[in-house]
Structure 1
Amino acid sequence: MGLSAALRLLAVSGCLLLLCGSSWGNNATVPLVIWHGMGDSCCNPLSMGSIKKMVEEEVPGIYVLSLMIGKTVVQDTENGFFMDVNEQVSFVCDQLSQDPKLKGGYNAMGFSQGSQFLRAVAQRCPDPPMKNLISVGGQHQGVFGLPRCPGESSHICEWIRKMLNSGAYTDTVQKHLVQAQYWHDPLNDDLYKKHSLFLADINQERVVNETYKKNLMSLNKFVMVKFLQDTMVDPVDSEWFGFYKPGQDKELETLQESAIYTEDRLGLVEMDSAGKLVFLATDGDHLQFTREWFNDNLLPYLR
């Protein structure tokens, strides 16, 4: 897709290209923490770096922290593929707890896999408190397929596909491949529940951790954005916490039809009843949306 007008956010190799223009014009006192997606980094000038700069310019007084997982941008990008997600979450929790600017709480916005990682932060690390969580194309029930890994022709993407297809739930692959840690195979549910190091834990698939549940329920809003033409996330319903019905990979079920909801493992039933769950949809491929759409639909949760 080509560039059009100066108001479009486009996905470029799994990253966002931000074209800045208009002003939001309102003060914001709640800090914002953002976590990038696969193949991106904290400070890419065409993606997170541009978003950070734009928010700081257009929302006077806001503090924006774009998370860097590692000591360099290169490490940050590589860690999005190879660093144990639980270690990443612990790293972020420590960083947030030591930041004096976040003591009063913060809003969080995750892009793609950064969304479910920030949900883990909300569930595991309530201090400082997360107020609103905005998931932009996040995969909260995981993925069963990797159709368009950023950098389609690169060797790393082909290697990842082979590892996932050959043994996503082996100890080595789980420990060292990020995407395996939210790989959700509906045809091998027992293997998934037993060996998934990250997703099965934060989704309470083995046991219900009441602290996880309590912490998530403390959010003011949990906003989930689904991209209706998404060619990267499989199944796309995972962006609204839906997934395949157990035992097959054809028929889908909504969050409200899933065991996570019907058994209320995460407190989502009460959050839904209280109006804390927000389901937004937009046309376009993964992480593609117009500036006007962002302004109208997401900006209110950042004030």
Structure 2
Amino acid sequence: MPEDCKNGSSMAAVVLPWFFLVSPVVLAASMTVNEANGTVPLVLWHGMGDCCCNPLSLGAIKKMIEQEIPGIYVLSLMIGKNVVEDTENSFFMDVNQQVSMVCSQLAQDPKLKGGYNAMGFSQGAQFLRAVAQRCPSPPMKNLISVGGQHQGVYGLPRCPGESSHVCDMIRKALNSGAYSDLIQKHLVQAQYWHDPLNDDLYKQRSLFLADINQERVVNETYKKNLQMLNKFVMVKFLQDSVVDPVDSEWFGFLKTGQAKETETLQESVLYKEDRLGLAAMDKAGKLVFLATDGDHLQFTREWFNTNLLPYLR
């Protein structure tokens, strides 16, 4: 498997300045992996414009976790045949197809048959939640969402930088018709675009987010499968300049019909009607809301070890 996607795509190169990761720490050499141990495997899914194996992002995270939990099996998902495809697919591949591919890959991996933990970064977090809801075998034990947008986004303020021609194209497409069939099927960010001013259109035409959030009909299987999680951990970045609104990282969003006031998960119809089982999970202590005082995906190794590693051991 290629280990470096930094130069594999012009789009990836644009993303790297903001798509970070751990604090400036020089990572030591990898520890020897024990063949027989009691660790729980971990599956990682990267965010927009990144890839499975970038040594400055997911590659560094993978190495750090392997150092902290000797012997752990960490699978960093590659969506495509190589790192270039992986990066491009984070912009242009139908999310439902991506989730289906991942479900097949996990089911065929003998190292995961006893279950695994999952950690998604940015959009990779809601994609892994879809895996939990749609594909209960092998079982996902804990889901850790690091800056995921579980109620979607209504804006791309930094995607990933103002000079990116890719982001300019995405903005124009979303503004011209986020819910058209063509854009929904071929632009990843449109599939979790949530327009509070056009709520009915969103519910009718959203191919991905409205489905996994049970906003058309309640799929009892989705609900049952999500409730099988031991913990659903959501990390919010208090100085986030990328996710709009940032409340989406804790499953909150803008109130329907306007684009200024937000509401928490607990104030939402989704929670009050318990369409996903989140209210029941909350009462059972399965929902964990964490915050860190940084911009999007910016955290220190110390913070990561203190707050997230306990859910991986």
The yes-or-no answer on 1:12 pairing with 2:22 is no
Structure 1 residue 52: Cα displacement:
1.2
Deviation string 1:8-40 (CA, Å, 9 cap, x unpaired) is: xxx7332435634589x9x76100000000010
1:106 touches 1:131 (CA, 8 Å); kept in 2?
yes
The correspondence of residues 1-303 of structure 1 with structure 2, limited to 5 A, is 12-16=17-21, 19-21=25-27, 29-303=39-313
2:19 touches 2:57 (CA, 8 Å); kept in 1?
no
2:45 touches 2:125 (CA, 8 Å); kept in 1?
yes
The SS at the match of 1:212 is helix
Question: Structure 1 regions of 5+ residues with no counterpart?
Answer: 1-10
Deviation string 1:145-200 (CA, Å, 9 cap, x unpaired) is: 00000243121110000000110000000000000000000000011000000000
The SS at the match of 1:280 is strand
- For residues 92 and 212 of structure 2, the distance between their equivalents in structure 1, rounded to whole angstroms, comes to 19
Structure 1 residue 59: Cα displacement:
1.0
Structure 1 residue 276: Cα displacement:
0.1
- For residues 22 and 302 of structure 2, the distance between their equivalents in structure 1, rounded to whole angstroms, comes to 15
- For residues 61 and 41 of structure 1, the distance between their equivalents in structure 2, rounded to whole angstroms, comes to 23
**Partner in structure 2 of residue 6 of structure 1:** none
Moved runs in structure 1, 4+ residues, more than 2 A? 11-23
Structure 1 residue 237: Cα displacement:
0.2
**Partner in structure 2 of residue 5 of structure 1:** none
Distance 1:162 1:216, change over 3 A: same
Letter in 2 for 1:47: S
Distance 1:272 1:17, change over 3 A: closer
Number of matched residues?
A: 292
Question: Structure 2 regions of 5+ residues with no counterpart?
Answer: 1-15, 32-36
**Partner in structure 1 of residue 8 of structure 2:** none
Q: Note the aligned Cα RMSD (angstroms).
A: 1.7
Percentage of matched positions with identical amino acids: 81
Letter in 1 for 2:115: G
1:217 touches 1:267 (CA, 8 Å); kept in 2?
yes
